[in-house]
Amino acid sequence: MEVTVDPRRAAVLALHWQVNVIKPEGFFGSLLSEPVARSGVVQRAARFHESVRAAGVPVIFTRFTVPVGEGGLVRNTEFMKAVGDAQEAFRPDAAGDLALTTAGCLTAEQALTLLRCPSSDVVAS
């Protein structure tokens, strides 16, 4: 099945490609890094990102962060309670919160703002 995408009206959001989520040294490393590595998802995602960029579709990398004061963090699961308890590891300048790309990174709020603006420039690709 072939799909035609208008790159002027499309974008790929790449969520949670950050040290805390998929690397062994990250906050959730002991839980997530091994299954992520075993699944091959990083390599498949990298190939996908390369192919859509080649087609002219922007790839916007976002990351999960917790600002001082918790922002709008909702501790509604054990997973999110753990994040809240260790929120310093998820500050925008924390080593574990770094995105695993050199392509640039937006917060989810910035990405949503960009996507709502029909005349916006590509700020991360």
pLDDT at 122: 39
Rounded Cα–Cα distance for residues 55 and 91 (Å):
34
Of 94, 98, 70, 93, nearest to 83 by C-alpha is 70
- Please give the C-alpha separations between residue 108 and each of 32, 112, 113, in angstroms, as whole numbers: 21, 6, 9
**Alpha carbon 1 to its chain's center:** 27
With contact defined as beta carbons under 8 Å apart, do 50 and 56 qualify? no
All domains in the chain, ordered by first residue: 12-116 (3.40.50.850)
If the chain, 125 residues long, is cut into consecutive pieces of 10 residues, what is the mean pLDDT of each piece? 81 84 89 92 88 86 84 91 92 80 53 53 40
pLDDT at 116: 59
pLDDT at 85: 93
pLDDT at 110: 60
